Amino acid sequence: MVGTTALALASAFACDRQAPEADVAIPRVVQKVVPIRKPPQTLGFHIVDLQIEQHVGADQAVPGVDNARLDREFRPTIAKLPQVRGVGPLPKGALPTDQVGVDIAVSWQVVDLEGTLKPASAPPEWGSLILTVIAHAERAVADDQAPVAERTFQATVPMPPERSATLPQFLLARLDRAVEMATTDVLAELWARQLNDAQVLDLMDTRVLWRKVAAAREVGERRLTQARVDLEAAARDPRQDLAAVATAALGRLGRAESVPVLTELIDSDHSAVVDAALASLADIGDEAALAQLRQAAAQHPEAAVRQRAAALLQERAARPTGPRLP
């Protein structure tokens, strides 16, 4: 449960000071009162229902990797997350708002260098694993409008050598990290939704990565344009998780002032940031933003960027003007 932090103000005068005589003039001391903004509450969800399942075709099955194995491997990882108080039955005395259910769906695909799907039992000598983790979280509340959140994490990693001996271990190790990131993200989103706008804005200064990512996402969703400069700084952050979310949030804000930053981010080293920058330019959709998209579609040295920019231009031409709606 998200707890509260008490704030106390010290008294301006000692309680044992004697009152002056009535005929003595006492000058009034006017103290400037500085409002104190209550900090965000501490996060602590208790996961009362945790389901971890694989969703792969028969040709992608990896020996030794089944749902029971996934649960044994990933349940301890989730229990150690900073947002989690515990996993399992709810302790006596805990409040209902502590409770969440989390469903984790994991899948993978083995592909060759051309991107053609190959069976996991006979993988190509050179190829990649495409990992996908979908985390769905739902807060347990009394009414029928239980807050829910869902985040997807996807990564492509090169296949290991000597795959027959190492593929299960290789797969589980990388899925473990993906499950950690997706679950952190989805719980952070649930937490951030209960904050007011002032708290969200304050969190743009935090050094805690998952909190800042959650705040950046909320800034975009709530269209808090006063945080545009902070978002632009976060979009340049070397950490891909934060940069990608902040870049996408700039598109949600829809401010033309962000076009130069988004243009710069088209050349980011992180593909997720590049994709978000292109999409945000399309979301802003003014002439300057579309000009940058056209230039990327025609001249960018990477074919994937040219193709993505061209697709966004076509999509933009087919939809109404203004930022993309949820």
Instruction: Please report, for the domain that includes residue 99, its CATH number.
Output: 3.40.50
Question: Could you tell me the residue range of the domain that residue 282 belongs to?
Answer: 197-317
In tens, the pLDDT along 233-260 reads 999 999 998 999 999 999 999 999 999 9
Average pLDDT of 201-221?
94
Q: Does 120 or 273 have the greater pLDDT score? A: 273
pLDDT at 122: 76
Does residue 41 have a pLDDT over 60? no
Does residue 155 have a pLDDT over 70? yes
pLDDT at 15: 35
pLDDT at 120: 85
Could you tell me the end-to-end alpha-carbon distance of the chain, in angstroms, rounded to an integer? 28
Look at residues 171, 192, 213 and tell me which one is the last residue of a structural domain: 192
Statement to judge: residues 174 and 274 lie in one domain: no
Statement to judge: residues 262 and 166 lie in one domain: no
Does residue 31 have a pLDDT over 50? no
Look at residues 136, 158, 192 and tell me which one is the last residue of a structural domain: 192
Look at residues 164, 192, 220 and tell me which one is the last residue of a structural domain: 192
Statement to judge: residues 83 and 170 lie in one domain: yes
Structure tokens at 28: 């009034």
Mean pLDDT of the chain: 82
Average pLDDT of 50-63?
93
Average pLDDT of 134-154?
80
Supply the CATH number for residue 213's domain: 1.25.10.10
In tens, the pLDDT along 253-275 reads 999 999 999 999 999 999 889 99
pLDDT at 10: 33
In tens, the pLDDT along 310-323 reads 999 999 888 765 55
On whether residue 28 sits in a domain, the answer given is no
Statement to judge: residues 131 and 221 lie in one domain: no
**Domains of the chain: total:** 2
Does residue 193 have a pLDDT over 80? yes
Q: Indicate the range of 16-20, 42-46, 159-163, 183-187 predicted with least confidence.
A: 16-20
pLDDT at 43: 63
Structure tokens at 250: 């700039």
| 71 Cβ contact partners less than 8 Å away, ≥ 6 residues apart | 52
Give the C-alpha separation, 111 to 90, whole Å. 42
> Is the separation of the CB atoms in 55 and 203 below 8 Å?
no
Statement to judge: residues 147 and 257 lie in one domain: no
Statement to judge: residues 87 and 209 lie in one domain: no
On whether residue 312 sits in a domain, the answer given is yes
Statement to judge: residues 165 and 213 lie in one domain: no
Per this entry, what is the length of the chain? 326
* Single pTM value for the model: 0.72
Q: How many CB atoms lie under 10 A from the CB of residue 192?
A: 25
Statement to judge: residues 229 and 285 lie in one domain: yes
On whether residue 36 sits in a domain, the answer given is no
Does residue 2 have a pLDDT over 50? no
> Is the separation of the CB atoms in 322 and 285 below 8 Å?
yes
Statement to judge: residues 97 and 132 lie in one domain: yes
Statement to judge: residues 182 and 211 lie in one domain: no
Statement to judge: residues 163 and 81 lie in one domain: yes
> Is the separation of the CB atoms in 215 and 203 below 8 Å?
yes
In tens, the pLDDT along 75-93 reads 999 999 988 988 988 877 7
Average pLDDT of 223-229?
96
Torsions phi, psi of 218, nearest 5? -65, -35
Does residue 30 have a pLDDT over 60? no
Reported as a pLDDT band with limits 50, 70 and 90, residue 17 is very low
